[in-house]
Chains A and B, each alone.
Chain A
Amino acid sequence: MHQERDADIELRLLIEAIYLKYSYDFRDYSGASVKRRVAHALRQFELKTISALQERVLHDPSAFMQLLQFLTIPVSEMFRDPTHFLAIREEVVPLLKTYPSVKVWIAGCSTGEEVYSMAILLREEGLLDRTIIYATDINPNSLEKAKQGIFSMENMRAYNENYIKAGGKRLFSEYYTAAYDYAIFDKTLRENVTFADHSLATDSVFSETQLISCRNVLIYFNKKLQDRAFGLFHESLCHRGFLVLGSKETLDFSGYKNQFDPLVKLERIYRKS
């Protein structure tokens, strides 16, 4: 038990050092997950203690960039939870069409799967040309990947199944070119996408938006940080704007619960009250 307390102290010091040196704020992330990811990083760095890792990242920015890849979780897929996208198509899009122009914020976009899924959906609904998508993340490497729009070919079969279940209107393969083991996505999908570095933990609102999608990001935050994020979303959304979350994320335990109405509760689609 005693040894473990030492590790807890070291972990807090590491997180504090990262914040002071690099302004990345993991202090209000869910502790159990951060602990596992740092333990995983220790094995990859072949270091024995978190203190040693702290010393390394404090004096070597490239080591910090390496560590950041462990601290963020790039688990994503296109049209993940297809019924969610179907509900956006059926319940949200008809209302979005009433706006002369639309701004969409995909917060925590990771390597871009959610961005391309949303862009495809909006194009099929005739909305993409008058939409600006802001795709933000804290991890520059993930953003770079998202900008490239190149994904592993081996996932395309699963994504295609998702796309069909999500109410896709064409052939999924029309949106990419296959090159060896990769699927290169149609670059016109990202013509109106702005990829940007943005932290829900430290940055503020940058634009008014009509739709915010933030999926499987908030589960990594504690309640305090979740509320900060909900506050940003509330501030950014226009009157009656839409907020969509991951399938296990909810406003139910948040102080913002009463400032949003569920539109399709099962699919985690909310509307600003």
Chain B
Amino acid sequence: MRTSFPCPSPDQPALPAVDAIVVGASAGGVEALLKIFRTLPKGYRLPIVAVLHVPDQRRSHLAEVFAMSVAMPVKEADDKETIAPGTLYFAAPGYHLSVENDFSLSLSQEERVHHSRPSIDVLFESAADAYGKRLAGVLLTGASSDGARGTAKIKEYGGLTVVQDPAQALVRTMPEAALALHTPDFLLPLPDIGSLLVELERIAC
């Protein structure tokens, strides 16, 4: 487990090439996600799929809010939509969001997971199934244990896992729950997570 990025040592191992990034956040997540996604340059080519826990409501304005601050195109994920490169997708409130094996997105109203729908575990586990080792998962601040199992599964399937350093998270419950279940590749503060996502894209594209 590495705790900074870029690493200070010159013999830093190369990051793996991934095809997609999944991100999960709960309490304190809006600010954390804005900090990370703001660092991504215009023309960023990896797709990013995000679950942010929000109160159940019919329509969410997350995509609009982020579109104002993020250089890449942002949208709420539609059912059966094929994941497009360079797009940031948000899960719609009230529905789980999954990645299918043909790299399309699907919605469902199965029971809540850790009191949440959308659930980070549901997104992460289905994305691990679809992408295997060509996936990076990022778990951030939150007052829930959602995402711990999903992050562990990404790791188990050979993907890259990144957990926000609990000491620097607004709410440390969620990153700590993930650490209790598995040892991520990186335990990082937000600015380093941004740099890592930039580097992941440079390698992959």
List A residues at the B interface (Cβ < 8 Å): 1, 4, 30-33, 35-37, 73, 75, 81, 83, 216, 218-220, 222-223, 226, 247-250, 252-253
* Chain B: interface residue total (CB-CB under 8 A): 28
> B79 and A219: CB pair below 8 A?
yes
Chain B residues whose CB sits within 8 angstroms of the CB of A219 once the complex forms: 79, 95, 106-109
> A31 and B100: CB pair below 8 A?
yes
Interface centre among A32, A73, A220, A226 (most CB of B within 10 A): A32
Q: Which residue of A lies closest to B133 (CB)?
A: A1
Chain B residues whose CB sits within 8 angstroms of the CB of A222 once the complex forms: 80, 100
Given contacts A247-B58, A248-B95, A253-B80, contact A35 B129 (CB under 8 A): yes
Query: How far, in Å, is A245 (CB) from chain B's closest CB?
Result: 10
Name B109's contact: one of A30, A37, A73, A223 (CB within 8 Å). A73
Name A248's contact: one of B92, B129, B158 (CB within 8 Å). B92
Q: Can you identify 6 A-B contacts, CB atoms within 8 angstroms?
A: A73-B108, A219-B79, A219-B107, A223-B80, A248-B92, A250-B78
> B81 and A253: CB pair below 8 A?
yes
Complex: how many Å from CA A248 to CA B78? 7
Given contacts A4-B129, A31-B101, contact A248 B107 (CB under 8 A): yes
Q: Which residue of B lies closest to A83 (CB)?
A: B58
> A32 and B98: CB pair below 8 A?
yes
Chain A residues whose CB sits within 8 angstroms of the CB of B130 once the complex forms: 32
Complex: how many Å from CA A271 to CA B91? 28
Q: Which residue of B lies closest to A249 (CB)?
A: B79
9 additional A-B pairs beyond A33-B96, A37-B110, A248-B92, beta carbons within 8 Å, are A1-B158, A30-B100, A30-B108, A31-B100, A32-B106, A33-B108, A75-B111, A226-B80, A252-B78
Chain B residues whose CB sits within 8 angstroms of the CB of A223 once the complex forms: 80, 104
Query: How far, in Å, is B131 (CB) from chain A's closest CB?
Result: 11
Q: Which residue of B lies closest to A220 (CB)?
A: B108
Indicate if B99 sits at the interface (CB-CB under 8 A): yes
Chain B residues whose CB sits within 8 angstroms of the CB of A73 once the complex forms: 108-110
Chain A residues whose CB sits within 8 angstroms of the CB of B98 once the complex forms: 30, 32-33
7 smallest CB-CB distances across A and B, nearest first, come from: A32-B98, A32-B126, A30-B106, A75-B109, A33-B108, A219-B107, A219-B79
The digit string for B73-111, where 1 denotes a CB below 8 A from any CB of A, is 000001111000000000010011011110010111111
Indicate if B122 sits at the interface (CB-CB under 8 A): yes
Query: How far, in Å, is B66 (CB) from chain A's closest CB?
Result: 19
> A36 and B110: CB pair below 8 A?
yes
Indicate if B132 sits at the interface (CB-CB under 8 A): yes
Which of chain B's residues 40-78 have a Cβ closer than 8 Å to chain A?
A: 58, 78
Chain B residues whose CB sits within 8 angstroms of the CB of A249 once the complex forms: 79
Given contacts A1-B132, A219-B79, A248-B79, contact A33 B157 (CB under 8 A): no
Chain A residues whose CB sits within 8 angstroms of the CB of B109 once the complex forms: 73, 75, 216, 219
> A33 and B106: CB pair below 8 A?
yes
Interface centre among B81, B92, B110 (most CB of A within 10 A): B110
